[in-house]
């Protein structure tokens, strides 16, 4: 019955000492999984025994190749266009029919267009809206579509791949920085409202060894790494390892974003 003090539905309190989350035969959905951080995370989850939905937008061939390479069985390549709510709802139906529930959702899909921060005219309304639509509304829409399946598992976790740009306001564009700050805020809000069945955490890397930012080569990433305390070139596998730790080990963390940037923010 509702709590007389605040009207919040009372929920039984679980005991502590939860231990690592066992992913064996559990369904994990990863958006943007045809390349980069998403692909690395899909591989890590499969190695832990999960049945992975390799979500993609236009990289169907790459996604199918990744599925073929994953250890275990039961994996699926599935189109998850994060800007199309109707398509996401249809994809969630496919996942429900195949798996019944979802234990892990990784919102890895995102996009940016480099625009110098001083170039206010270059950051057009269209570009600004696109950054918000893809990097903020997209993860929200994916989450909304899959929440019923996550709740059905009884013990699920969402990982939002953010960026340290959301804290430093230094990144590929002002709009991208603002979008990632908004995503971190979204992680907090969802962590508050989706418990106890669903935890929500974020990961905030700096430059990663991918082709995510057009025109940013390996030399530029190495130069940025050289200026950090750890002086390490961050690889997609490093972020995938952090995601796996958040999913399986950090069982009492929710609503928070972990910075995994080699110390760039310091």
Q: In a 3-state reduction of DSSP, which class is residue 131?
A: helix
Nearest to 214 by CA among 113, 91, 130: 113
pLDDT of residue 135 exceeding 60, the answer is yes
Looking at residue 224, its pLDDT comes to 73
Cβ atoms of 187 and 254 closer than 8 Å: no
Q: CATH assignment of 27-259?
A: 3.40.50.720
Q: Is 78 left (phi over 0), alpha (psi -120 to 50) or beta?
A: beta
Between 39 and 232, residue with greater pLDDT: 39
Give the integer Cα–Cα distance in Å for 211 and 208. 9
Q: ∠ CA(132), CA(138), CA(128), 5° rounding?
A: 15
Give the integer Cα–Cα distance in Å for 115 and 124. 10
Q: What is the mean pLDDT of residues 138-166?
A: 97
Considering the entire predicted model, what is its pTM? 0.90
The one catalytic residue among 56, 140, 146, 176? 176
Digit-coded pLDDT (tens) for 207-256? 666 555 555 567 666 767 677 777 777 788 999 999 999 999 999 999 99
Q: What is the mean pLDDT of residues 29-37?
A: 95
Looking at residue 239, its pLDDT comes to 93
Mean pLDDT over all residues of the chain?
A: 90
Looking at residue 1, its pLDDT comes to 38
Is 176 considered catalytic here?
A: yes
How do the domains of the chain map onto residue ranges? Answer: 27-259
Between 235 and 63, residue with greater pLDDT: 63
pLDDT of residue 3 exceeding 50, the answer is no
pLDDT of residue 55 exceeding 60, the answer is yes
Cβ atoms of 205 and 163 closer than 8 Å: yes
Looking at residue 2, its pLDDT comes to 42
Q: What is the mean pLDDT of residues 76-97?
A: 98
Digit-coded pLDDT (tens) for 101-132? 999 999 999 988 999 999 999 999 999 999 99
Looking at residue 264, its pLDDT comes to 72
Looking at residue 18, its pLDDT comes to 85
Digit-coded pLDDT (tens) for 170-210? 888 999 999 999 999 999 999 999 999 999 999 999 766 65
Looking at residue 212, its pLDDT comes to 53
Looking at residue 8, its pLDDT comes to 52
Q: ∠ CA(89), CA(91), CA(93), 5° rounding?
A: 75
User: Count of alpha carbons within 13 Å of 75, Cβ hemisphere only?
Assistant: 26
Phi, psi for residue 257 in degrees, rounded to 5: -115, 125
Looking at residue 9, its pLDDT comes to 59
Looking at residue 233, its pLDDT comes to 73
């Amino acid at each position: 019955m509702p709590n007389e003090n605040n009207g919040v539905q009372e929920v039984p309190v679980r005991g502590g000492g939860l231990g690592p989350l066992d992913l064996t035969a559990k369904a994990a959905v990863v958006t943007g999984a045809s390349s980069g951080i998403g692909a690395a995370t899909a591989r890590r989850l499969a190695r832990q025994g999960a049945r992975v939905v390799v979500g993609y937008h236009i990289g169907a061939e790459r996604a199918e190749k990744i599925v073929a390479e994953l250890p275990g069985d039961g994996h699926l390549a599935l189109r998850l266009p994060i800007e199309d709510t109707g398509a996401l709802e249809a994809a969630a139906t496919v996942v429900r029919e195949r798996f019944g529930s979802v234990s892990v959702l990784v919102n890895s899909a995102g996009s940016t267009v480099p625009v110098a921060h001083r170039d206010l005219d270059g950051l057009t309304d269209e570009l600004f809206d696109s950054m918000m639509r893809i990097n903020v509304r997209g993860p929200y829409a994916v989450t909304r579509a899959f929440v019923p399946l996550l709740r059905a598992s009884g013990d699920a976790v969402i990982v939002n791949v953010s960026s340290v740009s959301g804290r430093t306001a230094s990144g590929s564009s002002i709009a991208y920085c603002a979008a990632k700050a908004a995503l971190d805020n979204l992680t907090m809000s969802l962590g508050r409202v989706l418990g106890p069945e669903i935890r929500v955490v974020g990961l905030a890397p700096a430059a990663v060894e991918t082709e995510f930012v057009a025109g940013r080569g390996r030399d530029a990433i190495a130069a940025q790494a050289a200026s950090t305390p750890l002086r390490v070139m961050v690889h997609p596998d490093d972020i995938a390892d952090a995601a796996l730790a958040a999913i399986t080990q950090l069982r009492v963390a929710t609503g928070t974003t972990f910075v995994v940037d080699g110390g760039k923010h310091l």
